[in-house]
Structure 1
Amino acid sequence: MDAGNITIYDAAKKGDFGLVKWIVEYSRSSLNEYAKGHRTALHFAAMSGNLQMFKYLTERCGLDPLKGDINLVTPWDIVHDIAENGLKSKYAVKGSICNSEHKEIEQYLEKRYSHSYYDFYRNPIRAGFFPDPSICRVGDDYYMVNSSFVFFPCIPISHSKDLIHWEIIGHAITNPKWAYLDELEGGRGYWAPDISFYEGRFYITATYRLNDVGPVYRRQIVVSSERPEGPYSEPVFIDEDGIDPSIFNDDDGRRYMLLNRGARIFEISKDATKKISKPQLLFYGDNKRAPEGPHLYKKDGYYYLLEAEGGTGPGHMVTVSRSRELLGVYEPCPYNPIMRQKDPDALIQRCGHGDMVETPDGRWYMVYLCGRKIGDGYSILGRETAIDPVTWTADGWPIVNDLKGPSTMQVKPYPDLADFAMLHDIHSKIDKEKCDELLEPEEESKDYISPCGLPLDYMTPRPFEEGDVSFDKGNSFVIKGSKAPISSVDSRNLVLRRQTSFSFEYVADMEIPELSEGQHAGISGYYDENTFVLFGLMKKNGKLYVFSQEHIGEEDKWIFSDEPIEYDEETIRFSMNTDYLKRTLSYELISKGSKRRSEDDPGSVIFATLPDVYYLCDEGYNKGKRFTGALVGMYAYSGDEDLLSVKFRNCNYIDI
C-alpha cells in the first residue's frame, strides 16, 4: 500500500488527508490489508485527530470504528483515550494537537451510533474457561451454563440482569457422589450443557463423556431444580448416543431432546427423565461437517433449528434452518453461516456453538463460544463466551451482528442498567478477595460458597473426598496431600480457578508444613494431568528446597534452588506472574526473623522465568481431549509417606 515511500498508515497517522485520498482513489492500494498489529488505516487516522479524514475513511471507505486490532483496540478506543488523556495517551502522536480535535471525533461517533463510549460492551463477555454456552431467560433474569468437563463442582450456572455482567451462582452437580468423574481422563466428563425453564423448574442437560474404552462412550444426563442456583436433583441418565443435548418445550406441552449428529430429536417425559420415542433426524446441517450443538426455537409459525458446524476450530460456525412443522423438512437459511469469523488474522476466532435468547421487549441475542489465539496460534484462555445481537430479516431469518462475524465493541443490551453493573463490580471484588470488611461471614458463606465447600470460582479436577479440601473465612484453604502425583487421574487436592486474562499475577501464602522426603506443595499453572507447571517447596535429601516442575506429557523439567531455604517462622509467599506465554516465578519468606539468600535482597526472590508455557494451551499438546483452558491454583502432594496437610492464605488472582 505504498504511495512513493509512504504508506497510507503513515499518511493517516500524520493527518495528511490529501495524501490519504490520493492513495485510496488513485494508487493500487487495497483497504482490506492491515498494518502491523492488524490495524486498519482508521486506527492511524484516530491517532491524528483529523475529523474530516476519519469521516472519509468511515463513510466513504467503509472502515469500521468498532473493529479491534490484535489486542482488540478499536479506532474509537484510540480516539477516546487521547480525548481523555491528551499527550499523556500512549496513542498520542508527537507534535499533534490533542484533546479538542479528538473530542470532535468522539462527538461524531456518539452521533453516528446514538450512544456514548460507555454504552458499549466488549467481547468476550466471559473470559477464560467458559465454553459451550447455553442461555435462558425467566422474567428479567438471564441464566447461562457452560461445560465443565472433569472439573468439580460440575457445570457452572451464571446469572445476569443485563446479558453482559455475569457471576456464578451455583453448579448443576455439587455432590461428589453424583459426579462420576473419578476415572475419567482430562477433557472428558460433562460436555455442552443446556439450560431451560419449564413449569416452574430449571432443567439442565449435558453429555456425560466417558473414556474411550467402551462399550458406552456417551450418555445424557438431566438434573432439575426449582431454584436456578440449585440444589439440583440427582442426575438421571438417558442412554442415547450423541453429544450436545438440548431440551425443547413445544406449545402443546410435549417435550423433546435434541442431539447430534446433525440434529436428531426424540420425545422425553414431562419430567425429562425418560426417552419415550425413537430418535429421528431433523436436518443434518448446511455446512455438512461436524454438525452438532442443536437448539430449537419456535417463532411466527416456524421451528428454527440452530446448529454448530465445521468443528470447534478455525472453521467453527453457526447455521440455521427452519420448518413449518416440528418433524417436517427443514430449509437452510440463504444467509448461512449466520455467525463465523471470516478474518483468519483477527484475535477472536473459532466462533460457534450458539444459543439464542429473547428479551422481554422482543429483541434477540446469541451467546456463542470463541477463542483468542496468541503467539503461534495458542489459545491459552481456552474457549470463551461472546454475545452479539440477532436481527430478523424481512423474509424471517435470524442473522447475527449483521453477518459481520464476532464484534469487538457492541452497544450494551441494557445501557441504562448502571446500578446492576456497579453491583456486579462490587460482587466481583468480594468474590475475588473474600473481603471480610464488605461481607459478614454468614453472608459470604450463603452467597459465594458452593455446597461442596469451595468458593464458587474455584474447582478441583474430579471430586475431592470430605476432609481433603476446606475453605475458611479470610480466603484460607487447607489442602490434604494427595498420594497420587498431579500427572495421574487419581490425583486429588489440586484447587484451581480459571485464568481469565493474558497477563495476571497469582499469589498465595503457604504456611510451611512438616514435609517428609519427596513431599511437596505450592501453587500450579494447570491444564490437565498431561501438562502443568508446579512451583513450591520440596523435601529433598532431608532439607527444604524451592523448586519448579514443568510437566509436558512424558517429559519433566525440574529446577531447584541452589541452596535449601532457612527460616525461623512459618510462611512462604509464592507468586506466579504471567505475561502471555511467559511466567515469572517468585517467592518470599515473610515470617519474622526469616533468613534470606542475600542481605542485599530483603524481599521477593525471582526464582525462575519460564519463557513459553505453550503446553497450557488447547493446542499445546496432542493427547486426549483438550477443550478447556489454563487454570491456576494450589496443591499438595504427600506420596506414600506420612499424611500431609497444608494451609494457604491470602490467595489472590490479579489481572494486570
Structure 2
Amino acid sequence: MNELVSSLLKQDLEGIKVILGKDPKAIMQRDEEGTEMASLAAKTGNLEIIKYIVEYSVASFNERDKKGRSCLHYGVESGNLQVVQYLTEKVGLSPVEGDCQGVTPYHLAMDREFLDIKEYFGAYLKADFEDMYQNPIRTGMFPDPSIVRVGEDYYMVNSSFVYFPCIPISHSKDLIHWEVIGHAITNPAWSYLEGLEGGRGYWAPDISYNEGRFYITATYRLNDGGEVLRKQIVVSSDKPEGPYTKPTFIDEDGIDPSIFTDDDGRRYMLLNRGARIFEISKDGTQKLSEPVLLYYGDQKRAPEGPHLLKKDGWYYLFLAEGGTGRGHRISVVRSKNLFGNYETCPYNPIMTQTDMDKTLQCCGHGKPVMTQNNEWYMVYLCNRYIDGKYGILGRETAMDPITWTADGWPIVNNLKGPSVLMKKPSLPEHIFNTSDLDSFEKEELNKEWMTVRSWKEGGICVQNGYLCLKGSRFEMNDIGAENLCLRRQKNFSFDMVVKMKLPKLQEEQNAGVISFYDENTYLKYGIYKNAEDAYELRIFEKIDAVERFAYSQLLPRTGGEYPQEIYLKTQVRNLKRSFFFSMDKKNWIVTGELNNVYYLCSEGIVKGKRFTGATVGLYAFGGSQELYSYFTDFEYISIE
C-alpha cells in the first residue's frame, strides 16, 4: 500500500499535506483497483480532507474509475451528507451521472438507504427519485424513433428491418411507459421481405397525423446488386394501431423519409442526403414534384433522418449526422421560408455524446414532440455497450427535454448530452398491463413476438395453450428460413425459460430455443436425434463461416422412456450464456455454457448490413420432412 493511500485510509490530514507537499502529483495516482486518490478521500467521508484535496491539490475531478464512477459516487458511499453536498454544490458533480452500467449517485443513495442523501438529491434536483425516469425509455432493438402526439396520446414507430410484422407502433400516455399496439404491415403478402438479407427491409420509419388519419412512411431497402436499392413506402389508417393500407411505393432514392404538412395543407416528403424535399399528394401516395435540397447539414458527414417542425413562423429542420455509430449527433437549422435558405444553429450539435466512457453512446436520429402541457422532448436513438465494445441490445430509444433559447433555438438537455436519470414529464403516469410471461392462451400471438421475414400460412399458430411452429425447410443460416418466433432481447442479464413437448424427430431435424442476430450469427439450444436414434441436447454456434456444436448431452430417460415435456432455460449474464434443462422446473441440469457470445451484435463480425440487435425465442427445423413443435409457458425474466 502506498503512503498516500495509507494516510487517506487513516484520515490523517496532516500526513496527506506532508506527502502532497513533497510530491504534488501523488494525488493523481490510482490504487490497485484503479480508483483515484480523490475518490478514496471522498469514500472516507472526511469533509476536511476532501476540501483540502479539492482546493489545494492538483487533483482533477473529471476523472472516472474503471466502472465509470465519479468522485460523487464514492462520496455517497461514505454516507456523509456534508461530503455529498460539497461535491455536488461546490465541485459541480452530478447526482444523475451514470457509470458504465447506468448507476448514478442518486441510485446509490436509494440502494444504500441513505435517506438524508436521497432527500437532499430530491431537493437539489427538484425531483424525488420516484419522479425520475431512466434512459433508454425503450430497451432492446427500437432504433430510429419517430413520434407524434394526438390529443393526450403518443405514438412511436421504429425500424423493423426484415422482421415481421413490419414497423412496430407503440403507444404511451406519459412518454415513459410504452406498449406495442400494432404494426404498419401485418399482411404477409404485403411485406415483400422474401429473399432479403438480414439488416435490409424497412428502415427509419416516420409517423405523422393529418386530418384524422395516421401516416407511416419508411425506406424499403433491397439487397445490393440490383438496379434499385431503395424505395419509399407510405401506409395510412384512421386508427393508430391499424389496420393500415397496402404499402404504396414512391420511386425516389434515399433513406429516412418523413412527411411534413404545411399550414396551407400542402404535404411534402423529406429524404436524405442532407434534407431533400418534394411535394406529395394529400393521401401520400403520389410524388408531385422533383426533389430539391433544403440543406446538406451542419457537420457535413452522413446527413440523414430529416424532420421538419414549424414554430413561431420558423421552419426548423432537424438532421442526424456523423453516421449511426459513435459520434452520431442531432443538428438543427432554420428558415422563414420552407425552401430556404437555412441558417445553422450556433449551438449545434444540440444532442451528441462526447464522452466515450459514458453509458449512452451513438446518440442521434431524433424527432421533437410537444406535450399537451407545452413541454418539449426529443426522442432519439442510442446504444449501450458491454465492455465498451458490444451493443448486444441493438440501438434503443432514449428521450431528453428540449428547451428553447432566448434567440429561438431548441437545445436538448441543456447541451449536456444524453441523460441517464431525468425528471419525468408533467403527465399522469400510465402503466400498461404488459407481461413477459406467455402461456399462449390467446388465439393470436402477443404483439412483442415477431418472425424473420413473413411466415407462410399454417407456419405459426396458437392453439390449446401451445405455440405450434411448423419446422422450417431451411436452416437458420439461409434467408429462406421460416417460422422463427422471436422477441427483442431487452436486458444485458435475463433468464429465458420455456416448456416444450418432446418433438418426434427424424435425424437432422431439431427444435428448441435460439439466440438470433441474423442468418450469419446465432446460437441454438435444441433437441436433436443422433445416428443411434437417441435424443440429445446440443448447443450450436453459427459465427459467419464457423459452424460448430459447442456442447452435446444425451437426454436422460426414466424407466427407459423419454419425458413427454421438457423445460429449457437460457441464462444470460452480459456476454455469458448458460444452458439448462429440467423435467419439473425445479431440478436444473446444466448442458454447457458459452463465455463470450460477442457475435450476437452489430459489432460482432463485419458482413452485410448489421443494424439490428439480439433477439431470443423459439425455432424448429424440419428440412425436407414435416415437423411440428409445440411450446408453452414462455418466460423472459429480467435480472436488474
2 CA distance for matches of 1:473 and 1:60?
Answer: 64
Distance (Å, rounded) in 2 between the aligned partners of 1:578 and 1:435:
22
* Match in the other structure for 2:454: 463
Q: Secondary structure at the match of 2:599?
A: helix
Q: Which amino acid aligns with 1:583?
A: R
Q: What is the CA distance between 1:560 and its match in structure 2?
A: 4.7
State how far apart, in whole Å, the 1-side matches of 2:28 and 2:452 are: 59
Report the Cα distance in structure 1 between the residues aligned to 2:398 and 2:26, rounded to whole angstroms.
Answer: 37
Residue of structure 2 in register with 1:485 after alignment: 475
**Which whole-Å CA distance do the structure 1 matches of 2:462 and 2:505 have between them?**
22
- 2:534/2:554 contact within 8 Å kept: no
Match of 2:4 in 1: none
2:77 aligned partner, one-letter code = M
Q: What is the CA–CA distance in structure 2 between the aligned matches of 1:242 and 1:321, rounded to whole Å?
A: 20
Is the counterpart of residue 575 in structure 1 residue 558 in structure 2? no
The Cα shift of 1:564 comes to 5.1
- 1:223-372 matches, within 5 Å, as 223-372=235-384
The yes-or-no answer on 1:645 pairing with 2:636 is no
Q: What is the SS of the residue equivalent to 2:83?
A: helix
1:317–1:339 Cα contact (<8 Å) kept? yes
- Cα deviation, 1:609-655, whole Å, max 9, x if unaligned, reads 00100010110011111111000000000111x20000001111110
CA distance in 2, matches of 1:134, 1:338: 17
Q: TM-score, normalized by length of structure 2?
A: 0.92
429, 437, 445: which one pairs with 1:433? 437
- Aligned with 2:606: secondary structure? coil
Alignment match, 1:594: none
Hey, what does 1:617 align to over in structure 2? Answer: 601
Pair 1:339–1:616, CA change in 2 (3 A): same
d(CA) in 1 for partners of 2:376, 2:539: 49
Q: Secondary structure at the match of 1:399?
A: strand
Change (3 A) 1:4 1:409: closer
Q: Deviations over 1:45-77 (max 9, x none)?
A: 111122222111111111101101111111111
Paired position in structure 1 for 2:421: 409
Partner of 2:94: 64
Asked whether the equivalents of residues 571 and 590 of structure 1 are also in contact (C-alpha less than 8 Å), the reply is: no
User: CA shift at 1:473, angstroms?
Assistant: 6.2
Residues 545 and 560 in structure 1, CA contact (< 8 A), matched pair in contact too:
no
Check whether the contact 1:51–1:105 (CA below 8 A) recurs between aligned residues. yes
Choose 299-308 or 540-549, whichever is displaced more.
540-549
Within the candidate set 17, 24, 42, 1:12 is matched to 42
Q: Is the 8 A contact 2:159 2:204 kept in 1?
A: yes
Cα distance in 2 for partners of 1:225, 1:191 equals: 20
Question: Are the aligned partners of 2:373 and 2:426 in contact in 1 as well (CA < 8 Å)?
Answer: no
Residues 192, 245 of structure 1: 8 Å contact kept = yes
User: CA contact under 8 A between 1:210 and 1:218: conserved in structure 2?
Assistant: yes
Distance 2:463 2:69 in 1: 48
Give the AA of the match of 1:459.
M
Report the counterpart of residue 87 of structure 1 in structure 2: none
Per the TM alignment, residue 568 of structure 1 is displaced from its structure 2 partner at its CA by 3.8
1:334 and 1:14 map into 2 onto residues whose CA distance is 44
* 2:604 pairs with 1:604: no
Q: Contact (CA 8 Å) 1:455, 1:471: kept in 2 or not?
A: no
Counterpart secondary structure, 1:615: coil
SS in 2 for 1:616: coil
Q: Which residue number in structure 2 is paired with residue 33 of structure 1?
A: 63
Partner in structure 2 of residue 449 of structure 1: none
The answer to whether structure 1 residue 194 and structure 2 residue 212 are counterparts is no
2:275·2:306 contact (CA, 8 Å) conserved in 1?
yes
Extract structure 1 runs of 4+ deviating beyond 4 A.
Answer: none
2:516 aligned with 1:526: yes
Instruction: Give the 5 Å matches for 1:578-589.
Output: 578-589=572-583
User: Of 485, 491, 513, which aligns to 1:495?
Assistant: 485
Aligned to 2:155: 143
SS of 2:528 mapped into structure 1: strand
Counterpart Cα distance in 2 of 1:4 and 1:159: 50
**1:590 Cα deviation after fit:** 4.0
1:562 deviation in Å? Answer: 4.6
Local SS of the residue matching 2:434: helix
Report 1:166-205 matches (<5 A).
166-205=178-217
Distance 1:16 1:230 in 2: 61
Amino acid at match of 1:3: I
Question: Is residue 503 of structure 2 the alignment partner of residue 513 of structure 1?
Answer: yes
Query: Does 2:638 correspond to 1:626?
Result: no
Local SS of the residue matching 2:112: helix
3-state DSSP class of the match of 1:105?
helix
Distance 2:254 2:348 in 1: 24
Per-residue CA deviations over 1:224-274 (Å, capped at 9, x if unaligned) read 000000000000000000000000000000000000000000000000000
Q: Structure 2, unaligned stretches of length 5 or more?
A: 1-24, 30-35
In structure 2, the partner of 1:545 is 536
* 1:396 counterpart = 2:396: no
| Equivalent residue letter for 2:254 | G
State the distance in 2 between where 1:454 and 1:20 align.
Answer: 58
1: CA distance, partners of 2:133 / 2:235: 33
Give CA-to-partner distance per residue, 1:149-184, whole Å, 9 cap, x none: 000000000000000000000000000000000010
Residue 508 to residue 4, structure 1, CA distance change in 2 (3 Å): closer
Residues 81 and 515 of structure 1: is their aligned pair in 2 closer, same or farther, counting only changes over 3 Å?
same
> What is the CA deviation profile of residues 284-309 of structure 1, one whole-angstrom value per residue up to 9, with x for unaligned ones?
00000000000000000100000000
Equivalent pair of 1:482/1:639 in contact (CA under 8 Å): yes
Q: How many residues align?
A: 605
Check whether the contact 1:194–1:247 (CA below 8 A) recurs between aligned residues: yes
The answer for the alignment partner of 1:3 in structure 2 is 27
Aligned residue type for 1:480: K
The percentage of aligned residue pairs carrying the same residue is 54
The question of whether the paired residues in 1 share the 8 Å contact of 2:97 and 2:419 is answered with: yes
TM-score with structure 1 setting the length: 0.90
The aligned counterpart of 1:50 is 80
Query: C-alpha distance in 2, partners of 1:62/1:590?
Result: 55
Partners of 1:564 and 1:468 lie apart in 2 by 27
Check whether the contact 1:158–1:167 (CA below 8 A) recurs between aligned residues: yes
**C-alpha root-mean-square deviation of aligned residues, in Å?**
1.6
* Superimposed CA distance per residue, residues 100-123 of structure 1 (whole angstroms, 9 cap, x where no aligned partner): xx3222222222222211000000
* Distance of aligned partners of 1:648 and 1:434 in 2 relative to their CA distance in 1, 3 Å threshold: closer
Q: Give the CA deviation at 1:328.
A: 1.4
Q: What is the SS of the residue equivalent to 2:352? A: coil
Taking a change above 3 Å as real, the CA distance of residues 169 and 4 of structure 1, as seen in their structure-2 partners, is closer
The structural deviation recorded for 1:434 is: 4.1
Q: Corresponding residue for 1:598? A: none
Shift of 1:125: 0.4
Counterpart of 1:86 in structure 2 is: none
Larger deviation, residues 465-474 vs 210-219: 465-474
Letter in 2 for 1:433: L
How does 1:87-236 map onto structure 2 within 5 Å? 102-236=114-248
Partner-residue secondary structure (3-state), 1:386? strand
Q: 2:620 aligns with which of 618, 636, 645?
A: 636
Secondary structure at the counterpart of residue 158 of structure 1: strand
